[in-house]
Amino acid sequence: MNQPGQSPNSTTNVVPQVFGPSPQRGQTEPEKPSRRPRVVEYGLVAVMAGTLGIMAVPNLTPKVSNMEGLAKLTQLQYQVDYYRGALEEYRAEHHVWPGYGPGRAGAWLHGAPSGVNFKRQMTLWSDEWGNVGQPILGSRELGPYLELGLPKNPINGLESVRLLLESEPFPEAADGTTGWYYKPATGELRPNCKGASVVSGEPYYSL
């Protein structure tokens, strides 16, 4: 039995999944309380202000002449931080990383992860056990954590996500076939895009 804060022990062989884009919601959902601003949203303002300040003062950027590359790097870093912040918020309120099947009240046992679970849990509201849909009597309404849908990778324009199995390591390099890599067992997210930072020279994949 898993305790709160521990990753579920998923032993079922699950075929790695790729999913996206998000389906359009045609049904009216229950009215939700106003969402509080997330720290990453304040961070975007700081990142944009910093970037504009650097671009406006040439002496501060003697090694960065590719302003378009700098803008792409800034956009990607924001999306990565925004995405990871949403994952952390889900885990804090559900005691498990998103993607796993709904658990049972008082048991903390969850089903195998899937792309469908991940997308619904992140873009719709859910109860504390990860069930998405009509509220259950006595349960709390949580989320959504990505209200505008799954974020696109600004480098390759893809929002699709490749889920990695618990025993599956991250690839050594990005292949650019999806927008993101995500491992539900650890909550780790990486941008799956080729290219490198114009500032540090490090690959985008290592952000």
pLDDT of residue 186 exceeding 50, the answer is yes
Whether 117 is in a domain gets the answer: yes
Total structural domains within the chain: 1
Res 157 pLDDT > 80: yes
- Asked whether residue 42 is assigned to any structural domain, the reply reads yes
Identify whether 7 is part of a domain. Answer: no
pLDDT 10s digits, 49-102: 555 554 554 544 445 568 999 999 999 999 999 999 999 999 999 999 999 998
Q: What is the pLDDT of residue 179?
A: 98
Q: 50 pairs with which residues across the strands?
A: none
Given this model, what pLDDT does residue 121 score? 95
Domain with 136 in it: 37-206
Q: Are 77 and 89 in contact (CB under 8 A)?
A: no
118 has a pLDDT exceeding 70: yes
Whole-angstrom distance, CA of residue 116 vs CA of residue 155: 24
72 part of a folded domain: yes
One-letter amino acid at 73 equals: L
